[in-house]
A and B are shown apart, each in its own frame.
Chain A
Amino acid sequence: MSLRRVLVLLLCAWLPGRALAHDLLHQITEAEAVSVRLFFADGRDFSFESYEVYRAGDEIPFQVGRTDLEGRVVFLPDRAGTWRIKAFSEDGHGADFSFSTDLKSGVQDANRSFLERHLRIVVGVSVIFGVFGLVNLLMRKGGRR
């Protein structure tokens, strides 16, 4: 097989990988979460309003977003300790409070299997081996002719 054919084959193997780099993937995990419900005294939910979650002492929020339909802020703390939530609506209502939790997020690499943690590397190495195996096969066939 000519060097040119090998380069073309390698390019073909590389291009799909580049295209996939723009795909938005997702991963579903189960984790321990803190759920805080915000509501008015008459029971009405503080739904779809803005909130910020801070680690104690931090100036940059750990999480920002909007409360859900039932007025909940749900987040996965990455450490035990004190957390602060600021919630505010466009019409000037709000709450600013701190609380402590011992809960640590279950989203830890150590809690996942070796295959889950290194799935991308395993797939990448498999693809490389597959491409070179194919190239090797084609080169051998070419040599027999």
Chain B
Amino acid sequence: MQGLLLVLAIALVAGNARAHDLWLEKEDGGLGLHYGHKYSSHGGATFVEYQVEWVREALCFDASGARIPFQSEESYPYRMQGECAVALVSISSGYWTKTPYGTQNVAKDQARMPVKSWLSYDSVKRIDHWTESLAKPLAGGLELTPLEDPLKLHEGKKLHLRVTFDGRPVDDADVAYDGKPRGRPGPDGAINIRLRHGGFQVIQASLTRSITSEKADEVIHSTNLNFELPEGR
């Protein structure tokens, strides 16, 4: 028997399982919300057009950490207009179910031959101004919080972060920088990320929780932290 020779190769698809980049980009005097893989350096779609109805919550904070009003445009891409020191948006693309015929945006009980299913939550926090008041979680769900002014850092420096879920530290979240895994936080939710470049920064955390439900096997929470440093700094 000559045998079936398999030449094995492996290829990495994305940083965190099922997580996309969700980012807030300065545009037209405000912030535009985008979804896709522009910054996580792999072959996924650069922009994934989301439904504006997916936006669950959008918050704007001043430098003291107090919520302030802002204007929003409820069309794709979702836009925020306001003087936000920190802007925070959370979305949910709903239920997803993997089947032998591909992944469908439906709950497990609506899919034929479900293999795996999950409920997806994503959020993004963008920091444009910093005070010590912002060194704490600002919303519910999974959140990345800098413990120091991230806007004063530069390439090669470490950013000290805390990962929380509903305000409490978590140690089982996968943290990535530019889509590349960087490890898990300690018991106090703390993790240090070395910044590899100037310009737009994308730090992500992803947390998977098993659930017992007819609609999904697990809930995947993903969060993104954005801030900008001068290029080449």
Contacts and interface: CB of A to CB of B under 8 A. Distances in A.
Interface stretch (A12-20, A91-99, A120-128): A91-99
A41 B14 contact: yes
A95 B48 contact: no
A36 B16 contact: no
B7 A39 contact: no
A33 B98 CA distance: 27
Nearest to B98: A48
Interface residues of A, number: 39
A88 interface: yes
Nearest to B6: A35
Interface in B80-98: 93, 96, 98
A48 B48 CA distance: 20
B192 interface: no
B18 A40 contact: yes
A95 B42 contact: yes
Contacts of B37: 92-94
Contacts of B206: 42
B44 A93 contact: yes
Given A41-B181, A48-B100, A48-B101, A87 B13 contact: yes
B7 A103 contact: yes
Interface of B: 1-18, 20, 35-37, 42-45, 48, 93, 96, 98-105, 115, 174, 176, 180-181, 206, 208
Interface of A: 30-42, 44, 46-50, 66, 69, 74, 85-97, 99, 101, 103, 106
The 7 residue pairs across chains A and B that have the minimum distance between CB atoms: A96-B43, A92-B48, A95-B43, A35-B6, A94-B44, A40-B17, A32-B5
